[in-house]
Structure 1
C-alpha cells in the first residue's frame, strides 16, 4: 500500500539523518496517514480513505465534501 494521502496527495519526502559528527545518511520522512471512514451526506454514502492528520484537521474545519471537491479539481483523488 502506497504512503500517499488520498485527498491532499502528500507523499514521502527524502532527507538526511545528520549525526553529531555531521555524517549524513539518506532517510525518508513519511506522512502521518490514518485510515478514516467518512459519511458524505451529499452523495449519501460512506467512504474509507487514508488521510494525513493535517488533512483530517482541514476536513473537520471545512467539511469532507468541500475537500473532496477541491481534490477532484486538483486531480489528487479518484473519489
Structure 2
C-alpha cells in the first residue's frame, strides 16, 4: 500500500536530518494518513478512503465529499476516488 493520499496526492517528501554538529543525513517525511469513511450525499452511503489529515479538513471546508470530488482534478485523485467521482456525476445527472 503506497503512502499517498487518495484525494490530494500528498506523498512522501525527502529532506535532511541535521545534527547539532550540522551533519546532514537523508530522511523521509511521511504524510499523516488516516483510514476514514466519508459519507456521500448523492450516493447515500459511506466510502472508505486513506487520506491525509489535511485532506479531511479540506473536504469539510469545501462542503462535503461530493463537492470536493466534483471540484478536484482527476490527476490528483486515485483510481478509486475517480470511480466514486464518476458515480456521483452519473447520479447527479440522472437526478436533474
TM-score over 0.5 for the alignment?
yes
After TM superposition, the score normalised by the length of structure 1 is: 0.88
Q: Distance in 1 between matches of 2:76 and 2:45?
A: 20
C-alpha separation in 2, matches of 1:23 and 1:4: 29
Identify the structure with the greater strand proportion: 1
RMSD: 1.2
Q: How far, CA to CA, are the matches of 1:15 and 1:52 in structure 2?
A: 19
Paired residue total: 78
Q: Which residue of 2 aligns with 1:23?
A: 23
Measured in 1, the distance between the counterparts of 2:35 and 2:71 equals 20
Runs of 4+ that moved beyond 3 A: none
Gaps of 5+ in 1: none
| Counterpart in the other structure of 2:14 | 14
Partners of 1:43 and 1:68 in 2: CA distance: 13
Larger radius of gyration: 2
- In structure 1, distance between residues paired with 2:15 and 2:71: 29
- Which blocks of at least 5 consecutive residues in structure 2 are unaligned? 82-96
- Aligned runs of 1:60-79 on 2, under 5 Å? 60-62=60-62, 63-71=64-72, 73-77=73-77, 78=79, 79=81
Distance 1:75 1:39 in 2: 22
